[in-house]
Amino acid sequence: MSDKIFDKFQNSVSQLLIKHKSILDVLTKQQESITRVNRAIIKAVTSCGCIEINASKQEISDEISIEHIQDILDNHLSGQLCDHCQDIIKQEMGNHLFYLAALCNLLDLNLSDIIEKEQKKIHTLGIYNMLR
């Protein structure tokens, strides 16, 4: 994805952030928005039922190499998001991105730069990035 879309998005957010201009409003709205993402995922499990969570302790043998840990670990999810749940989760994630961009604007940070730096870190650390 091009940096331009993140810059364009961040610029659009800066023009729309009128009601919640204070850093206090943006911090709390950003926290609320990630909670709404999590709630939408949980509702996909508990209300819709299109996905299920079945979690238990993950047993990792001392003999397995770090390169193969990813192959044996379970994500504890089964099923597939239905179109309705997928739409709601995407909408909530978009709303969360809005407040993340708003936070960047208030702190004079560039979202593209942050994503690019994280991408470089992931690329450099490779498999060891999973351990953080």
Considering beta carbons, is residue 90 or 121 the nearer one to Zn ion?
90
36 neighbors 95 (Cβ within 8 angstroms): yes
- Residues 2-31, mask of contacts with Zn ion (x by CB under 5 A): ------------------------------
Considering beta carbons, is residue 82 or 103 the nearer one to Zn ion?
82
Min separation Cβ 80 and Zn ion, Å: 9
Residue from 48, 77, 93, 106 in contact with Zn ion (CB under 5 A): 48
In terms of phi and psi (left: phi > 0; alpha: psi -120 to 50; beta: otherwise), the region of 48 is: alpha
Phi, psi of 16 (to 5 degrees): -100, -15
DSSP state of 46: I
- Binding of Zn ion by 50 (CB under 5 A): yes
Stretch binding Zn ion (CB under 5 A), from 16-24, 30-38, 39-47, 67-75: 39-47
- Binding of Zn ion by 45 (CB under 5 A): no
Please enumerate in sequence order all residues whose Cβ is within 8 A of that of 80, keeping only pairs 6 or more positions apart, or say none.
50, 51
